[in-house]
Structure 1
Amino acid sequence: MSESGRNASEETADTMVERVHGGRPALWFLVKGNRILVAGAMLAAAYAVLVVLGEFGPGSIAKLFEPDPVFALFTPIIIGIIMGVSLVLTFNQLVLSEELGPLGDQRERMVEAMRFREDVEAAVGRNTSPPEPSVFLRGLVEATGERAEALIVALESEPGMGETARREIREYAEGLAADADRVAGDLEGQQFGQFEVVQSALEYNYSWKIYSGRRVRNRYESTLPAPVAEEFDGLLDILEFFGPAREHFKTLYFRWEIINISRALAYIALPALAVAAYMILVFETGDVAGTTAGIDHGLLVVGLGFAVGVTPFAIFLSYILRIVTVAKWTLAIGPFVLRETDRGNDVEWE
């Protein structure tokens, strides 16, 4: 069976929706959704669980009319907010400290960055590479698509090739070209700092493309005409540039997100502290006596105060959830597929 002709259940999926258990809802919660909205969803769930357990769980609502339970609930929240925000801000400084260093280190970083750009420019046949990450990645993806189309043209000019080799190479090239068009369209117009740039880079499953391309290339190496072999090698060379570029921009994006976490916590920390302090110093459950839909007002207000108090933690958790999920999906660089596959012996040594 050809490298690209097998059915979808046997192939590492190109799109993240197909890779994530739970489909679009899980993908939205893990990475795609606005982190503030995700934090709000988690807070709403926590508030609902607290109210339901307080109303229908074992125990007595009368405890709320005593000061000790409220004090015991909100005192750790105040301590947690202060310690948590301090810890995150300290971690943020450690991350940003990597941007500080002696002139020699900064110059070496600049030299390596320019060398990589020059290598990419030589590989794709362009004079100057763009400065924006999304445009840079789109150019690499488009270059792989162009090389794949050139490979198909080279196949057409070599009628003496074996039919099996021709079919497998064509299917590989056509699948890659179609996927490159899709990802390049997703990258167009995207601004770095938005998750859509990283998402589009993740959608381009370059690891499997390198593996399957090398497998086909090596399988028929002895019979490939020189023009076909040259186009094939050029395509694989450009694919190998995509991995380091994606990892570099992913690292920059992680730093960007950590800064966003710090800013969000700086905005919400003092209001959350104020609410927690109010619940300890001023609030009396008896002042909100009554029920709504059979639920005691004291439980509703205390639950709301709890939700506001843990808002910094929910925001932190929503951002970290995205960072660790993306990190898990991109642990390996190059032709290594860490996700569960359904290929059996199809990924063995040849």
Structure 2
Amino acid sequence: MSDAADTIDTQEEDTQLDQESIENIGTANTMRERSGETRLKVWFFLAGHRVVVTGLLALLIFGVFMLGGTYFYQFLLTDAQTADTIETLFSTMISAIITGVTLVLTISQIVISQENGPLGDQRERMSNTMDFRDYTEELTGSPTPADPSAFLRVLILESKDRAEGLRESIADNDNDDLRGEVDEFTNSLIENADTVSGRLDGETFGSFDVLSGALDYNYGWKVFQTERLADDYTEDLSAESFERLDELKTVLTMFGPAREHVKTLYFEWELISLSQNILYVSVPALIVAGFMTTFLGGSSLSGVVLGVSVLVWVTSIAFVVTCLPFLLLISYIARIATIAKRTLAIGPFILRDSQR
């Protein structure tokens, strides 16, 4: 009696494990859902416009400065009248601004230098690009789009079509486990493809939306599943199903370098935009820092506005303006570093715990 009960319990455990393995094949449709991050964190580091993020950081510094100046006003007033606190503060900011601008210009020169090279190197770059485009045209059966978002979208929709073909090829297979896993895998892929292709539709390169949509398509996990299915069900898959599975794997592996290329172009675009924006704000920042050092050092600026000393208002605003180049650098590098960390590996390598 106990042996029969043990057998039933073992069968139930095996069934539960099989069901769990099938459920683990599918994944969420967005990077945020897969990583378990909050919307606020994703917006701050990735989705939010960098100028808006810079403005919020500036408001934070302004608020802290105003709060400190209000509660410790007497100390600030005394230092402003008897010492060179303001002069020292903003003279230091002048050095920081010049150093920061020099650093950013150096980064820009490195980015631009990657685009320079002899004629042979440029010809090789062109040849590699055209070879990839020609191979993509063979896979999709249509001319490869020139727009990056449309290019990625074509590969995603092609993988969706190949997944539907794979599902149809095993519809009459006798292995229930194989049909269940393929159904779960293809349904997850198709749903993910629909979500991402909808986000990429009509997007223009230069905005984060193009790369954001591409990051939501976790092709590496899908490549791994095609390899696993081919290995686990070698004896159950028909020749047609093997061919469909291999075709799907080919399209998915083509998406990997395509996304990495778009990511590289986006990084260069962002670093150049960062350089331009910092150059724009560095001149006003230098003017404000020089003005505060030359004309307002040691001045108490008597008067009160909204219950707060004019000296606190002027010093807080001036300090925030001089911090703008550094805050811009923080906002841009935060996004670039986050993307780089999430896309360190190319291919079926899972570096995060969310799918391990």
Q: Which residue of 218, 222, 225 corresponds with 1:209? A: 222
Q: 1:152 to 1:90 in 2, by over 3 A?
A: same
Q: Which amino acid aligns with 1:38?
A: V
Q: Which amino acid aligns with 1:306?
A: F
Q: Distance in 2 between matches of 1:187 and 1:18?
A: 18
1:23 paired with 2:38, answer yes
**Structure 1 position 53, deviation (Å):** 2.6
**Structure 1 position 24, deviation (Å):** 1.1
Q: Which residue of 248, 261, 267 corresponds with 1:254? A: 267
What does residue range 172-183 of structure 1 map to in structure 2 within 5 Å?
A: 172-183=185-196
Q: Which amino acid aligns with 2:303?
A: G
Asked if the contact 2:29–2:191 (Cα under 8 Å) also holds between the matched residues in 1, the reply is no
Asked if the contact 1:20–1:27 (Cα under 8 Å) also holds between the matched residues in 2, the reply is no
Q: Give me the TM-score of the superposition, normalised by structure 2.
A: 0.89
1:88 paired with 2:104, answer yes
CA shift digits 1:272-322 (9 cap, x unpaired)? 111111111112675642334543321221011000001011111111111
Q: Give me the TM-score of the superposition, normalised by structure 1.
A: 0.91
1:99 paired with 2:115, answer yes
Q: 1:160 to 1:319 in 2, by over 3 A?
A: closer
What does residue range 142-221 of structure 1 map to in structure 2 within 5 Å?
A: 142-156=157-171, 159-221=172-234
Q: Distance in 2 between matches of 1:46 and 1:20?
A: 30
Larger displacement relative to structure 2 (284-293 or 103-112): 284-293
Q: 5+ residue gaps in structure 2?
A: 1-17
Q: Distance in 2 between matches of 1:249 and 1:4?
A: 34
Q: Which residue of 287, 291, 313 corresponds with 1:274? A: 287
Q: Which amino acid aligns with 1:65?
A: Q
Q: Which amino acid aligns with 1:168?
A: E
**Structure 1 position 20, deviation (Å):** 5.0
1:239 is matched with 252
Q: Which amino acid aligns with 2:42?
A: L
Q: Distance in 1 between matches of 2:325 and 2:348?
A: 39
Q: Distance in 1 between matches of 2:120 and 2:145?
A: 25
Q: Distance in 2 between matches of 1:121 and 1:295?
A: 67
Q: Which residue of 66, 72, 75 corresponds with 1:51? A: 66
Matched length: 338
2:132 is matched with 116
SS at match of 2:84: helix
Larger Rg over CA atoms: 2
Q: 1:58 to 1:288 in 2, by over 3 A?
A: closer
Q: Which amino acid aligns with 2:114?
A: E
Asked if the contact 2:31–2:216 (Cα under 8 Å) also holds between the matched residues in 1, the reply is yes
SS at match of 2:354: coil
2:341 is matched with 328
Asked if the contact 1:3–1:168 (Cα under 8 Å) also holds between the matched residues in 2, the reply is no
Q: Which amino acid aligns with 2:61?
A: A
Superposed CA RMSD: 2.1
SS at match of 2:206: coil
Asked if the contact 2:149–2:210 (Cα under 8 Å) also holds between the matched residues in 1, the reply is yes
Larger displacement relative to structure 2 (292-301 or 305-314): 292-301
Q: Which amino acid aligns with 1:53?
A: G
Q: Distance in 1 between matches of 2:282 and 2:273?
A: 14
Q: 1:99 to 1:76 in 2, by over 3 A?
A: same
**Structure 1 position 63, deviation (Å):** 1.6
CA shift digits 1:119-146 (9 cap, x unpaired)? 222223x242111110000000000011
Q: Distance in 1 between matches of 2:315 and 2:248?
A: 61
> What percentage of residue pairs aligned between the two structures are identical?
40
CA shift digits 1:185-244 (9 cap, x unpaired)? 100000111100000000001111111222122110221011111111100110001110
Asked if the contact 1:64–1:299 (Cα under 8 Å) also holds between the matched residues in 2, the reply is no
1:72 is matched with 88
Q: 1:342 to 1:249 in 2, by over 3 A?
A: closer
Asked if the contact 1:3–1:212 (Cα under 8 Å) also holds between the matched residues in 2, the reply is no
Q: Distance in 2 between matches of 1:3 and 1:237?
A: 28
Asked if the contact 2:86–2:298 (Cα under 8 Å) also holds between the matched residues in 1, the reply is no
2:144 is matched with 129
**Structure 1 position 174, deviation (Å):** 1.3
Asked if the contact 1:144–1:235 (Cα under 8 Å) also holds between the matched residues in 2, the reply is yes
Q: Which amino acid aligns with 1:36?
A: V
2:4 is matched with none
Q: Which amino acid aligns with 1:318?
A: S
Q: Distance in 1 between matches of 2:131 and 2:211?
A: 23
